[in-house]
Structure 1
Amino acid sequence: MKRLVHAVVGCGRVAPNHVDGFSALPDVEMRWACDRDLTTAESLARAHGLPRVTTDVHEVLADPEVDSVSVATGHATHHGLVAAALEAGKHVLVEKPLALSAEDGAALTSLAERAGRVLSVVSQHRYDRVVTAIRDWIGAGLLGSLVSGVVSLQCGRDDAYYAGSYWRGTYAGEGGSALVNQGYHALDVTRWLTGGLAVVGAVAGHTAPRGGMETEDTLAALLRGPQGALVTYQVTVASSITWRTRVEIIGTGGSVLFDLDHPGTLHLAEGNEELRAAAAELASAEVEQAPPGIGYYGISHRRQIADFAAAVRDGHQMIADDRAGLETLILLQDIYRVAGHEVAAPVLSALRS
């Protein structure tokens, strides 16, 4: 098997999860640590044994032996860096979101197709054991017809998280905050499980801003699934709790309640005997140890990275491919559009009546 040579562009909070995931695979060489700040790049390289360090992404992309790159930088830089990597013939694994606009995201998916390269947006929780099991249960009809959902994420981000960043908490750099950053994965997983979501109404709040942030710290939305299921979604970064998610999916034949924390936990599975038996089997499975890094990122970067590396070699369609990332980006943009326009209030008022 040909050795896969990989580089990490952006050496901040989530970069260790990328290094861990690729290092766990056979026949993969982690070669480059690249960051706009040389000290940050050197720190990651030193901690994980990466042999080459640079602040110049073009040096990485000019390396003919590099097959693929992780892009784990500020949101606004994703489009330019991903495009440059694809044009240089590299496969790309990019942290969410794919881009700051649906137009830029669509341009990247088209570029990846023309270049014949794998482009994947990090949606690691699609690979969580609990999430994949629930998707199988829904597909097998164990929940019946989906009718409702309740999705919430509360987390705490302090002043330093925003004030110490050149891009977080700004529209130009982050494209939003609570929804596009912390709330992305809960929304993405719910969209995947329900088969798609459309926006009925949304409201964004600037209720307890931290560190001079100009973007939303709280957001709530009402969403509708393709068969009519109504989903309420809420996210805040102004909680006293570091991180807690809850996702409840309710069907005519059964209901499940789970989280995207580590370890991902199925809190409830009620309904028919087949559903309860499947839930009991899932509960008996051994819990994997978390990789080094921030605990609430979970363990499934490893699974998505393994899927990415396999797709680079054999060309199969990934669970979290570029089209999936584009579709979630479009949903995010729709939520922000509704939340930012006066039409949101009349829509919600009409529903109450």
Structure 2
Amino acid sequence: MTAEAGPAGVLRVGIAGGGAIFRNHLEAYRAAHEAGRDTGQGVEVVALCDIDAGRAAQVAAAHGIGHAFGSVTEMLAWRGADGRGIDVISVCTPHPTHEAVVTEAAAAGVHVLCEKPIAIDLAAADRMVAACREASVRFGVLFQRRFWPAAQRIRAAIDDGTLGTPILGHCSVLLHREPEYYSATAWRGTWASDGGGVLMTQGIHYIDLLQWYLGEVVEVHGHTGTFVHGEHIEVEDSAVATLRFASGALATLHASTAVTPSLGVQIRITGSTGASAQLSEFPEGSDGRVDVWAAGQRVATSPDGPTWPSGLEPNVDLATINGALIPWHRAQVADFVDAVRTGGSPAVTGEEATKSLRILLAVYESSRTGVPVRF
């Protein structure tokens, strides 16, 4: 994108959706405000909208947000006493609604930060990217785990040649979800409303990291199954896949929400120098850490030290996981705010976010057809 820098002074933000992830966005923008307030570069969350106007009013009042609306259209039309509306919208609505919110915001000239997944199909993702490009607005997508220092350490070791060119990768996402996680929320676990299961909702974070390290994927062969949660969902609770990359690198992926207790997440990368690194998130919701670093004749374990949060057990609830991610939402929101102010590109653009979606959709297609999907 080549848009000019955003407005000077305080950026005005509206949040679409008052559900579980709303708090992370609110706290992240308020942290950005504190960071920029002394220089007159603050960030103010001025509005919230939700399809349930009553909930919007209740949540806005509880969190000191001045304006509440029952639709995105109303929020985008709002103007303050100075005639200015919102500069940025955060999209915290269910997956299939992202396209409508993003394209409407782009048409209004409002910059967009959207929760993952960008969409549940590639055509929608492409339309969203095109709309923001044509409107010259910044478009970022939340993949906050890229901002873990440990995740960035591995990316730096690829870039500086320590690992060399990645040749092998593995991504293991072995998580626990109670049946109530699905049954208590009507849109979870359906193809129409959720777009998929463990790959779309949990695994996509780590598929994003895998492709960030290994590059463009050219072939996917996958299988999915529903082994534990079949009474509550129509999508997969488990999946495996092999991936081949444009560089020639190979990787394996397996993911599940049918594991008791949760074993967390591990991503292993081996490079052409022979060196390897493993990034772990255990338990789920803890900060990622590099717990294996193998180079030369030396293998170091847990060089980044333990990061097990006090009181966090292997099987944790969604609110606890979301709360633990707030620091990394803060980091990505700060990056996005800087992109809006400078006219630069956010760390995770719409185009970049489409890559992980393309991979997981290929796993679904390959599982349905029984043959590899080649890009």
If the length of structure 2 is used for normalisation, what is the TM-score? Answer: 0.84
Q: Does 1:63 align with 2:78?
A: yes
CA shift in 2, pair 1:131/1:2, >3 Å: same
- Identity among equivalent positions (%) equals 30
Q: Does 1:11 align with 2:18?
A: yes
1:249 CA drift (Å): 0.8
Q: Matches of 1:210 and 1:160 in 2, distance apart?
A: 13
Structure 2 stretches lacking a partner, 5+ long: 1-7, 34-41, 80-84, 313-318
Q: Matches of 2:241 and 2:52 in 1, distance apart?
A: 37
Determine helix, strand or coil for the equivalent of 1:316: coil
Partner of 2:121: 101
Match of 2:349 among 306, 316, 321: 321
Partner of 1:253: 274
Match of 1:28 among 35, 38, 43: 43
Determine helix, strand or coil for the equivalent of 2:193: coil
Matches within 5 A, 1:307-346: 307-343=335-371
State whether residues 72 and 95 of structure 1, in contact with CA within 8 Å, keep that contact through their aligned partners in structure 2: yes
Matches within 5 A, 1:139-150: 139-150=159-170
Partner of 1:299: 327
Aligned residue pairs total 343
Worse-matched range after superposition: 68-77 or 164-173: 164-173
Structure 1 counterpart of 2:226, one-letter code: H
- 1:236-266 deviation per Cα after TM superposition (whole angstroms, max 9, x unaligned): 1112235711111122331111124422211
Partner of 1:111: 131
Determine helix, strand or coil for the equivalent of 1:84: helix
State whether residues 263 and 298 of structure 1, in contact with CA within 8 Å, keep that contact through their aligned partners in structure 2: no
1:299 CA drift (Å): 2.7
State whether residues 175 and 264 of structure 2, in contact with CA within 8 Å, keep that contact through their aligned partners in structure 1: yes
State whether residues 118 and 312 of structure 1, in contact with CA within 8 Å, keep that contact through their aligned partners in structure 2: yes
CA shift in 2, pair 1:56/1:157, >3 Å: same
1:305 CA drift (Å): 0.5
Partner of 1:37: 52
Q: Matches of 1:340 and 1:288 in 2, distance apart?
A: 40
Worse-matched range after superposition: 245-254 or 205-214: 205-214
Q: Matches of 1:46 and 1:157 in 2, distance apart?
A: 32
CA shift in 2, pair 1:185/1:296, >3 Å: farther
State whether residues 41 and 54 of structure 1, in contact with CA within 8 Å, keep that contact through their aligned partners in structure 2: yes
State whether residues 198 and 331 of structure 1, in contact with CA within 8 Å, keep that contact through their aligned partners in structure 2: no
Q: Does 1:185 align with 2:205?
A: yes
State whether residues 219 and 372 of structure 2, in contact with CA within 8 Å, keep that contact through their aligned partners in structure 1: no
State whether residues 142 and 272 of structure 1, in contact with CA within 8 Å, keep that contact through their aligned partners in structure 2: no
CA shift in 2, pair 1:40/1:242, >3 Å: farther
Match of 1:155 among 159, 168, 175: 175
Worse-matched range after superposition: 228-237 or 156-165: 156-165
Worse-matched range after superposition: 324-333 or 182-191: 324-333
1:316 CA drift (Å): 0.8
Determine helix, strand or coil for the equivalent of 1:270: strand
State whether residues 16 and 293 of structure 1, in contact with CA within 8 Å, keep that contact through their aligned partners in structure 2: no
Worse-matched range after superposition: 231-240 or 203-212: 203-212
1:86 CA drift (Å): 1.0
Match of 2:63 among 34, 41, 48: 48
- 1:127-175 deviation per Cα after TM superposition (whole angstroms, max 9, x unaligned): 1111111101011111133221221112222222222223211111111
Q: Matches of 1:171 and 1:265 in 2, distance apart?
A: 33
State whether residues 179 and 219 of structure 1, in contact with CA within 8 Å, keep that contact through their aligned partners in structure 2: yes
Determine helix, strand or coil for the equivalent of 1:299: helix
State whether residues 148 and 230 of structure 1, in contact with CA within 8 Å, keep that contact through their aligned partners in structure 2: yes
Q: Matches of 2:296 and 2:73 in 1, distance apart?
A: 56
Partner of 2:245: 225
Q: Matches of 2:58 and 2:296 in 1, distance apart?
A: 52
1:309 CA drift (Å): 0.7
Q: Matches of 1:47 and 1:292 in 2, distance apart?
A: 20
Structure 1 stretches lacking a partner, 5+ long: 348-353
- 1:300-324 deviation per Cα after TM superposition (whole angstroms, max 9, x unaligned): 1111101111111111112101110
If the length of structure 1 is used for normalisation, what is the TM-score? Answer: 0.89
Structure 2 counterpart of 1:263, one-letter code: D
Partner of 2:286: 262
CA shift in 2, pair 1:274/1:62, >3 Å: farther
Partner of 2:5: none
Partner of 1:271: 295
Q: Does 1:84 align with 2:91?
A: no
Partner of 1:350: none
1:292 CA drift (Å): 8.1
- 1:275-329 deviation per Cα after TM superposition (whole angstroms, max 9, x unaligned): 97xx95xx37999999987245363111110111111111111210111012222
